[in-house]
Chain A
Amino acid sequence: MKRKGLMTIVLAACITMTSVFSGCSSKTADTSKDNGKITIKFLHRWPMEPNKSFLDKVVADYEKANPNIKIDMQSVANDSYKEKIKVILGTADAPDVFFSWSGEFMYKFVRENKLYDLTTALNQDGWKDTLMESQLKPFTLDNKTYGTPYSVDGKVFFYNTKIFKDNGLEVPKTWDEFIKVCDTLKSKGITPIAYGNQAPWASAHYIGTLNQKVVAEDVRTKDYNAATGEFTDSGYVEALKKYQQLIPYFNANSNAIKHDQARMNWANGKAAMIYCETQEVGEVQKLQGKDFQWGMFKFPDITDGKGDQSKLTGAPEGFVISANTKHPKEAIAFLKYLTGKEVGLKEVKEIGILNGMKGIYDTTNADAKVIEAANLINSAKDIVYWLDTDLNTKLVNVYLSETQLLTSGETTPEKMMQKIQQTAKVVKNETK
């Protein structure tokens, strides 16, 4: 009897211990330095082509050139990235070097001291002078810079030059000319603008540009700042009304189609224009048919708008370093390589993306379309950031969901701005 009791207890103890220990892993050891090799954790947002293979190769080249460094690379796609990065930064497993959009998206991490200050490193060895100032500004807060650009971007209209020629249309320079072009196309049975807003960031780009062109610059800057935002200016309602003017010219069911599908429809000649990022040049070139002719033009000027017409909507994307990195020197070296000249030249040639370095492209390594895009970006006096990474997340949520309703005609600009104003009040109270 006694032996049976002892067996029972021993067995139970075994069960408990195996179940507890099977859950444990040896994460507590500092695995970042073994065999004298230093491991840098690297996280980016492109698990898809063409960036994925490109970065795979960049990392492989770097590891070959620096045998004592190992890069542990991971990637998470766009929308999931925005969610995952916030959680991962709160853990001890935060990556050393990781992707970030510029503007408010990055600033909120700066405020929580999650990012490594690169200002000193940038001032050494003339690193700062090799980068375009206008593209470093979005990564700077309170005169301290926290990131460097991997790709500069601008939002422009891509248009089918054949459709325009066949219908005797010229590139519109003003809003009224633009509406006339849309009218003509619609009357000929051609869908003027391809638009996919199922993932609602697409509308944020339209509204962002309209806000910037219609609302006076100082009012808009004050409102976009979470601590002082009110959104009471009538210009915001005006901007939404201009968006409403475009709705009849979009393809049907825009809330049910994703941006990539809209872009494919446009590249197949089913629509005349599409509002795209210059970053997408490479992707369009992969999609298009051999005879597809296209060009780009800037968002038309709104002549009675109080905002700055010369600025371009777009913000650089780049990489930052975690404030808690155990290997700042190595991380900085990798960052310098990742956003530097050698990779930059390959970026332009292989995937049609421009990074933030000065003089990175010319006719020898860049394709005509990439040069066209680069010139458009350079000719803009300054850039205005994306609405959905520049505003506080709560405001972004309201803007995105309400614009979907606006697009299907289920709300009005006035009602929408009322909701925005209420949310702005809440955000203002929370930001100290």
Chain B
Amino acid sequence: MKERKIAPYVYIFPTLLLIIIFVYIPIIQNFYFSFFKMSSYSTVKTFVGFSNYKNIFADEIFYTAVINNTLYAVISLIFQVGIGLCLAMLLESRFVAPKLRTFFRSIYFMPSVISITVVALIFQFVYTPDIGILNGFLKAIGMGKYSHAWLGETKTAIFSIIAMSQWQYVGYIMMLFIVAIQKIPEDIYEAADIDGATGLQKALFITIPQVKEMTLVTSVITVIGAFKVFSEVYVMTSGGPGNSSQVLSTYLYRSAFINDEMGYASAIGVIIFIITITLSFIQIKISKSGQV
């Protein structure tokens, strides 16, 4: 009897140990380092108290980064979760023939399996001012005056990067929603049909509430992802032009590896951690407060 109680814990233990060593201890170490001034090739470590945090809150680039991350999160929620859900509902409805469903699913899902760096390089080419296909397309349909140097202008840089992310991940979120929709029992829909519900009413009052759990999961993934985003921005603009497309993680990277201020970078890391944990907590709380 006693062995049956211990066995599961003994099996979980190795992985738990690894997670503690490689995830939790570094988080605590990071928190510790954020109170120091350190460089990567020097052995000197000076204690500076909260001055790293004070400097971060006094730096205007920090606020640009937070705003960019927030824009990323909001736009991603609207497009990836919103449109992902709509696409999922559409593909699972009677408007799309069952034979074509697999085909459309693959098409929408494919971008998310391409490596981020490859996508970023492709889109750099799309956004190039003179020979890029975006400006070429605009000119071809007579909207040439809307062409911009998408990655070279402070006002459009971050939005161009966000747009690329939406293209890449809408399909992924859509697949998650398709799985959730397929789990909805058919009888609910049949009952609604008997009551004379229209397609729209069925979508609004049955499908959407039934996928609530999945909506929560995708929202949390999207928002956390938006605050952790790095490769897209780094490859496309490195935070430029003039710091207009900096996000928290590129700001951290720059402080750590270009400015060589490891303590300052650790403080930024702690802030990212606090932001993502708080947002996740809030999201989970909000969804639990409704009924199933």
Q: A residues touching B (Cβ–Cβ < 8 Å)?
A: 1-2, 4-5, 8-9, 11-12, 15-16, 19-20, 82-83, 86-87, 89-90, 109, 112, 114, 198-200, 252-257, 393-394, 397, 401-402, 404-405, 408, 410-411
B84 to chain A, nearest CB (A): 31
Q: Which range holds the interface residue count of chain B? A: 35 or more
B198 to chain A, nearest CB (A): 49
B54 to chain A, nearest CB (A): 13
Asked, given contacts A86-B40, A114-B41, whether A401 binds B14 with beta carbons under 8 Å apart, the answer is no
B128→A83 contact, CB < 8 A: no
A12 CA / B129 CA spacing, docked (Å): 59
B41→A112 contact, CB < 8 A: yes
Interfacial chain A residues near B254, Cβ < 8 Å? 397
A15→B6 contact, CB < 8 A: no
A15 CA / B2 CA spacing, docked (Å): 22
B226 to chain A, nearest CB (A): 23
A133 CA / B167 CA spacing, docked (Å): 57
A401 CA / B246 CA spacing, docked (Å): 11
Interface class of chain B by DSSP = loop
Asked, given contacts A15-B11, A255-B149, A394-B259, whether A410 binds B40 with beta carbons under 8 Å apart, the answer is no
A16→B14 contact, CB < 8 A: yes
Interfacial chain A residues near B154, Cβ < 8 Å? 405, 408, 410
B41→A86 contact, CB < 8 A: yes
B220 to chain A, nearest CB (A): 28
For A199, the closest partner residue in chain B by CB is B238
A408 CA / B240 CA spacing, docked (Å): 12
Asked whether any CB of chain A lies closer than 8 Å to the CB of B153, the reply is yes
A397→B150 contact, CB < 8 A: no
Interfacial chain A residues near B205, Cβ < 8 Å? none
Q: Which of A15, A255, A397 contacts B152, CB < 8 Å?
A: A255
A401 CA / B259 CA spacing, docked (Å): 14
A2 CA / B6 CA spacing, docked (Å): 12
Interface class of chain A by DSSP = helix
For A261, the closest partner residue in chain B by CB is B128
A12 CA / B3 CA spacing, docked (Å): 13
Asked, given contacts A8-B6, A8-B7, A256-B128, whether A87 binds B153 with beta carbons under 8 Å apart, the answer is no
Q: Which of A11, A15, A199, A401 has most chain B Cβ within 10 Å?
A: A401
B225 to chain A, nearest CB (A): 24
Number of A-B contacts (CB under 8 A): 107
B241→A404 contact, CB < 8 A: yes
A412 CA / B254 CA spacing, docked (Å): 25
Asked whether any CB of chain A lies closer than 8 Å to the CB of B243, the reply is yes
For A4, the closest partner residue in chain B by CB is B3
Interfacial chain A residues near B2, Cβ < 8 Å? 5
A-contact 0/1 string along B140-154, CB 8 Å cutoff: 000000000111111
Q: Which of A2, A15, A256, A393 contacts B258, CB < 8 Å?
A: A393
Q: Jot down 19 A-B pairs with beta carbons below 8 A, ordered by A.
A: A5-B6, A5-B7, A12-B10, A12-B13, A16-B13, A83-B257, A87-B40, A109-B41, A198-B151, A198-B240, A200-B240, A200-B241, A256-B150, A257-B129, A393-B259, A404-B240, A404-B241, A405-B241, A410-B154
Given contacts A8-B3, A86-B257, A408-B154, 13 further A-B contacts (CB under 8 A): A2-B3, A4-B3, A8-B7, A11-B11, A19-B14, A20-B18, A109-B41, A114-B41, A198-B152, A200-B241, A257-B128, A401-B241, A402-B242
A87 CA / B253 CA spacing, docked (Å): 12
A-contact 0/1 string along B208-242, CB 8 Å cutoff: 00000000000000000000000000000110111
Asked, given contacts A86-B40, A86-B260, A253-B149, whether A15 binds B14 with beta carbons under 8 Å apart, the answer is yes
Interfacial chain A residues near B242, Cβ < 8 Å? 401-402, 404-405, 408, 410-411
